[in-house]
Amino acid sequence: MAPLHILYIAYPLLTVSDESAGGAEQVLWALERELARRGVCTTVATSAGSRIAGELFATGDPCTRPDDYERRNQEHQEAIIAFVRQRGHAGQPFDLVHDMSGSFWGRAAELDMPVLATLHLPRSFYPLQYFQEVPVNVSFNCVSHSQARSFSDLERLIGVVPNGIALDRFEPEHETNHNGNHGRRQGLLWLGRICEEKAPHLALEIAALAGLPITLAGQIYPFSYHQQYFEKEVDPRLQQMPNATLVTSPTFEQKRKLLREAQALLITSLAKETSSLVAMEAAASGTPVIAFRHGALPEIAREGVTGFLADDVEGASAACQRITSIDRETCQQHARVNFSSAVMADGYAAVYDQIVGLTSVDVSKLRMLGQR
Interhelix angle for 252-261 vs 277-284, to 10°? 60
The mean pLDDT of the chain is 92
Contacts of 192 (CB under 8 A, 6+ apart): 198, 200, 218, 267, 269, 278
* Beta carbons of 308 and 319 less than 8 angstroms apart: yes
Mean pLDDT of 170-190: 67
Partners of 98 in the β-ladder = 8, 116
- For CA atoms 137, 50, 348, 192, the dihedral sign is negative
Distances (CA, A) of 78 to 42, 52, 86, 231, 294: 20, 21, 12, 36, 37
CA 100, chain centre distance (Å): 10
Give pLDDT tens digits for 278-328: 999 999 999 999 999 999 999 999 999 999 999 999 999 999 999 999 999
Q: How far apart are CA 52 and CA 19, in angstroms?
A: 11
* Beta carbons of 273 and 296 less than 8 angstroms apart: yes
Mean pLDDT of 135-151: 97
Closest CA to 138 of 97, 87, 186, 88: 97
* Beta carbons of 317 and 76 less than 8 angstroms apart: no
Give pLDDT tens digits for 184-212: 799 999 999 999 999 999 999 999 999 99
What domains are there in the chain, each with its CATH number? 5-164+340-370 (3.40.50.2000), 167-338 (3.40.50.2000)
